[in-house]
Structure 1
């Protein structure tokens, strides 16, 4: 009968293979999907080599000993590039291939080294090898690489969180949790490598990580399944306004300069134009109730107004004193309060009315309602003495 860790080992390989097949079968794969597919391909090979080591089967195929070393250099870059492209933060195109230089260098170094070593030296049966310092240095470099890429990935996640807050009206179903799981899982693996670098403990934590991301990846919409984007989303850099080219200075008297309040310096947008866009925005909301679209983004709202998303964001910030996210959710809360006042709606539950107003989850509804009104939805209903259907 297989021991417990062997069961986990075999399960990890099969789950990785299963997820890889799902990914390569996914229609219309994005660049992020292709990166994740390549990552799983190399992860399967790496898992097989680690499991082979953990099973003490090195003597069966001694030619493979040592060739597991280049693979750990791949996981950090794949994690980083996957997050980079999934969150739309890519900038450098083909230069992203530079991230794989350490892995290629490891292969170049190992070709002559492993070729000159005997089987006994590779298996540690001939005493200390002259290449021992090289291998220790390579393992140290692997650990440094892993830690650095986890930190770089965390920085990407912070940027993505800011971008989501700027452009999305509902954030509960965005890929933040999926990215947290990936980064957290990779961080846990490197902690195990540092604390307990044995082949068996390392393989068990890697296999558990594969189970974990397989479960949450399948639950996360769009990761292992195909879903066309239904809403306009812009890259973070597109939302940032470019600096305006300075115009020739106009000579004015000191009184005029002191009395003028300069607004929208970076975008070049005048206060008059901002007021026009704001009025058009209010009219659009009153007529079309765009906030009821639970997937509404800044880009969606900018299109019918015929303005750049960055300009619209700045107008909302200036005229409403709120971010796009807060502005839309205030409108949803106000619409919810209006629905509560209508007797014909008292047959519905609070959550049903919340969904009607554009919220997409109970958590998001409760959080935003309390943030805006300082009361929970149920407390507000009691305070207003409104009779409403119980349940969700």
Structure 2
């Protein structure tokens, strides 16, 4: 047996070992069984592509049917992890599997004459699985953008490992097509990447549970929701703002934007006033895991209305708004001579950041340079470059 076949068998054995505990989660209703089914398909394909076909050429193609379940299993796992459920008509995703199994059975009786058909059919299914992985990557990108509307920290929620896994899956399936056409070094690369997938799933997939998402992320409300409990203030709603907020005597009728959302200009002004007072007084942005729902409750409004205020009035997501305040806090600490020797990362954590990568990205977005470069600037220049508080 050649080395490449030994490595393929090792990949199959490890993938099966990783798949077993994932499949056993089926009783919990967790998304992990979909990832386990995906890994089991990887294990079967690792075996089918090497030793068995060399020793039993009459079996060509008959062990490749798992290629039709790679895409749906991975896609359903991603959907469940980001809180989207199975979607409409999930059974339609298994129709290609029935077509492939029928084709394999039909070709088996005359394999020599139809082997070319099987080869092209399998490549077509590899491309279909690639499309599933690409759609899953888009879902993950959209999910992270939605996270920024509700959380000030994405640590432990961003599923970045799953995005990297999506990219590796796309790469593997592309290499599968190349290996089928030209073989050579592409087969070795395919085996190595399969081992990488087993490692990533074994390291992250076994430990990662579904993310608990706010209900407004899964099913966004079209109209203003029920009032949130206020902390030290009456709830902000359209009616309450109209009755209690001071507005100019010549105030005009609200635009269609407010009519659709249920928020009036008076409610928007009151939310802005309470938000500014809260962040300047209590400085909630210093909390490392502040959420939209928590802050909305503290100023007496709903998460939907607060999110709309940030998006429409300030042009910021909740994530960017809070981290902009944290960047301003870091700038103030960097300008303090008493903190001249304090590490920048320590100041970032003091300002509410809990991730080095998030801090660096936010600081560069706001200031256009790294924190270290900003600290090295002359005092007058540094003071002049401080951004306005969001």
Q: TM-score, normalised by structure 1?
A: 0.75
Matches within 5 A, 1:62-101: 64-90=59-85, 92=87, 95-101=89-95
* 1:318 maps to 2:312: yes
Q: Unaligned stretches of 5+ in structure 1?
A: 245-255, 387-392
Corresponding residue for residue 36 of structure 2:
37
- SS of the aligned residue for 2:35 comes to helix
Q: Structure 2 unaligned segments of length 5 or more: list them.
A: 226-248, 381-390
2:207: which partner in 1?
A: 225
Equivalent in the alignment of 1:12? 11
Q: State which drifts further: 193-202 or 103-112.
A: 193-202
CA offset at residue 329 of structure 1?
0.9
Counterparts of 1:279-318 in structure 2 under 5 Å? Answer: 279-305=273-299, 307-318=301-312
SS of residue paired to 2:260: coil
Deviation at 1:37, TM superposition (A): 1.3
Equivalences for 1:367-386 in 2 at 5 Å?
Answer: 367-383=361-377, 385=379
CA distance in 2, matches of 1:215, 1:146: 20
- Confirm or deny that 1:241 pairs with 2:241: no
Q: Which has the higher contact order (CA 8 A, sep 6+)?
A: 1
What is aligned with 2:2?
Answer: 3
Which of 184, 187, 192 is matched with 1:208 structurally? 192
Q: Deviations over 1:2-41 (max 9, x none)?
A: 6331332133123212322453467996643121012112
Distance 1:369 1:28, change over 3 A: farther
**1:103–1:300: structure 2 CA closer, same or farther, 3 Å change rule?**
farther
Equivalent in 136, 139, 163 of residue 122 of structure 2: 139
Q: 1:78, CA displacement in angstroms?
A: 1.6
Structure 1 CA distance for aligned equivalents of residues 2 and 166 of structure 2:
30
Match of 1:251 in 2: none
1:179 is aligned, of 151, 162, 166, to 162
Shift in Å at residue 86 of structure 1? Answer: 1.7
Q: Which residue of structure 2 aligns with residue 332 of structure 1?
A: 326
With normalisation by structure 2, the TM-score equals 0.75
- Bigger shift: 291-300 or 7-16? 291-300
Work out whether residues 26 and 225 of structure 1, in 8 Å CA contact, stay in contact via their aligned partners in 2. no
Following TM superposition, by how much is the alpha carbon of 1:72 offset from its aligned partner in structure 2, in angstroms? 0.9
Query: Quick one: distance in 1 between partners of 2:297 and 2:192?
Result: 45
Cα contact 1:170–1:294 (8 A) shared by 2: yes
Deviation track 1:269-328 (CA, whole Å, cap 9, x = no partner) reads 111222233333334434543323333343443454564433221111234332212211
- Aligned with 1:359: secondary structure? coil
* Matched length: 355
Q: Distance in 1 between matches of 2:326 and 2:219?
A: 27
Q: 1:374, 1:20 → 2: CA distance?
A: 45
**For the Cα contact (< 8 Å) 1:77–1:99, is it kept in 2?**
yes
- Aligned CA distance change for structure 1 residues 30 and 58 (closer, same or farther; 3 Å): same
RMSD, aligned CA: 3.7
Indicate the larger mover: 193-202 or 10-19.
Answer: 193-202
Rounded to whole Å, the distance in 2 between the matches of 1:242 and 1:200 is 59
Contact 2:72 2:93 in 1 (8 A): yes
1:85 Cα deviation from its structure 2 partner: 1.8
Q: How much has 1:108 moved relative to structure 2?
A: 3.9
